Amino acid sequence: MKILLVFDFDNTIIDDNSDTWIVQCAPDKKLPIELQESYQKGFWTEFMGRVFKYLGDEGVREDEMRRAMTSMPFTPGMAELFNFIRKNKKTFDCIIISDSNSIFIDWILEAANFHDMFDKVFTNPAAFNSSGHLTVENYHAHSCKRCPKNLCKNVVLVEFVDKQLQQGVNYTRIVYIGDGGNDFCPVTFLKKNDVAMPRKGYTLQKTLSRMSQNLEPMESSIVVWSSGVEIISYLQFLIKE
């Protein structure tokens, strides 16, 4: 009987956004105005594809990008949380569902020695092409109206839980740890035993708080956190229950 921990990545595991952090590799650490203005709502992955092409055209190479990524700070208490989970891995399965990309997440987790903690990472697939440019694709296609075109985290979570069930793994509860607007959709999938853990002061927490004020209660419990250490305390409480 396991608990499933679902993590977002940007501004949850790491204390910033990996896609905006990479801009420090650009000349003068900023993007040309016309590139900045080419972003269309819901099409972030396509925009990042253009950013990566621009960086490649400017001569930014893989090792420079890797150095920038691995200098990103983890959110306070995350390293402690991961060490706690590692010690209790018999109790927890861990997955990441992220709008970042596979290369950035691999680099960051490997550099910190946390890559073995996660059973599965769902994110936009990325690779370096023959010219040494980083390319990124949409994770999947979906019909959810709430989510960006490249990723509905709810669809991913439902599919993962169903697949696990077919293999005989039934989670006693799901704990969803995130911060952003695109974490709202999967949180609506959570049931009575489950727990939504929005990061304090971020979009997800503000959205959930607005909903409760409008008397649109969630089925799951909501536990707000600022540091990974608070998440440890809550998980310890769940294990004891």
Binding-site residue ranges for Mg(2+):
8, 10, 179
In the chain, the amino acid numbered 21 is: W
Task: Give CA 120 to chain center in angstroms.
Answer: 12
Half-sphere exposure for 234 (CA within 13 Å, toward CB)? 21
- Which of 8, 93, 183, 194 is an active site residue? 8
Active site residue 183: no
Active site residue 16: no
Q: Which residues are annotated as a binding site?
A: 8, 10, 19, 99, 179
SS3 content of the chain, % helix, strand, coil (to 5): 45, 20, 35
The token pair at 216 is 């649109």
Task: Kindly list the distances between the CA atom of residue 59 and the CA atoms of 46, 63, 64, 132, 136, in Å, as whole numbers in the listed order.
Answer: 20, 11, 10, 9, 18
Q: Which residues are annotated as a binding site for substrate?
A: 19, 99
Let me know: does 179 contact 202? Beta carbons within 8 Å: yes
Tell me the β-bridge partners of 4.
Answer: 93, 174
- Which of 10, 93, 183, 194 is an active site residue? 10
The set of catalytic residues is: 8, 10
